Amino acid sequence: MRLDYLTIFPDFFAPLELSLPGKAAASGLLDLGVHDLRRWAHDRHRTVDDTPYGGGAGMVMKPEPWGEAFAEVLSAGSDTGERSTIVFTTPSGERFDQRLAEELSTREHLVFACGRYEGIDQRVIDHAREIAEVREISLGDYVLNGGEVAALAVTEAVVRLLPGFMGNAASLVEESHAEGGLLEYPVYTKPRSWEGRDVPDVLLSGDHGAIARWRHAEAVRRTAERRPDLLTPSVLDDGTPIVRAV
Ligand SMILES: COc1cccc(Cn2ccc3ccc(-c4cc(N)[nH]n4)cc32)c1
pLDDT digits (tens, 9 = 90+) for 42-90: 999 999 999 999 999 999 999 999 999 999 999 886 666 678 999 999 9
- Across the range 165-177, mean pLDDT stands at 62
Pocket test for ligand 1, best of 9, 137, 142, 144 (most atoms within 8 A of CB): 144
The interface predicted TM-score of the complex, written ipTM, equals 0.96
142 lines ligand 1 (CB under 6 A): yes
Helix (H) or strand (E) holding 103: helix 98-104
Residue 151 in this model has a pLDDT that exceeds 70: yes
Residue 57 CB less than 6 A away from ligand 1: no
Whether pLDDT at 168 is above 60: no
Judge if the beta carbon of residue 96 lies within 6 A of ligand 1.
no
Provide the pLDDT confidence category of residue 138 given band limits of 50, 70 and 90. Answer: very high
Q: Are 55 and 79 in contact (CB under 8 A)?
A: no
Q: Thinking of the domain 179-245, which architecture would CATH place it in?
A: Orthogonal Bundle (1.10)
In the reported structure, the alpha carbon of residue 212 is separated from the centroid of ligand 1 by a whole-number distance in angstroms of 42
Q: Is the backbone peptide bond immediately before 191 cis, with ω within 30 degrees of 0?
A: yes
Residue 165 contacts by C-beta under 8 Å, 6 or more apart in sequence? 20, 21, 23, 24, 29, 30, 159
Q: How far is the CA of 161 from the centre of ligand 1 (A)?
A: 26
pLDDT at 122 over 80: yes
Note the pLDDT of residue 132: 98
Cβ(168) to ligand 1 under 6 A?
no
The band of 27, judged by pLDDT with boundaries at 50, 70 and 90, is: confident
Q: Are 242 and 234 in contact (CB under 8 A)?
A: yes
Higher pLDDT, 25 or 185: 185
How close is the Cα of 153 to the center of ligand 1, in Å? 14
- Please tell me if the CB atom of residue 93 comes closer than 6 angstroms to any atom of ligand 1: no
- Residue 89 C-alpha to ligand 1 middle, in angstroms? 7
Given this model, what pLDDT does residue 188 score? 98
117-145 average pLDDT score = 98
Q: What pLDDT is recorded for position 246?
A: 46
Separation of CA 85 from chain center: 13
What class is the 2-159 domain?
alpha beta
Residue 59 has phi, psi (to 5 degrees) of: -125, 160
pLDDT band with cut points at 50, 70 and 90 for residue 15: confident
Confidence label for 145 from pLDDT (cuts 50, 70 and 90): very high
Burial class of 162 by CB neighbour count within 10 A (0 to 12, 13 to 18, 19+): middle
pLDDT at 76: 83
Pocket lining: 7 vs ligand 1, CB cutoff 6 Å = no
State which of 5, 37, 61, 89 you would mutate to test the pocket of ligand 1, scoring each by most atoms of that ligand within 8 A of its C-beta: 89
- Average pLDDT along the chain: 91
> Which residues lie closer than 8 Å to 118 by C-beta, 6 or more apart?
52, 56, 57, 58, 59, 60
Across the strands, what pairs with 168? Answer: none
Q: If 0-12 CB within 10 Å is exposed, 13-18 middle and 19+ buried, where does residue 192 land? A: exposed
Domains of the chain, residue spans: 2-159, 179-245
118 touches ligand 1 (CB under 6 Å): yes
Mean pLDDT value of segment 240-246: 65
pLDDT of residue 178: 47
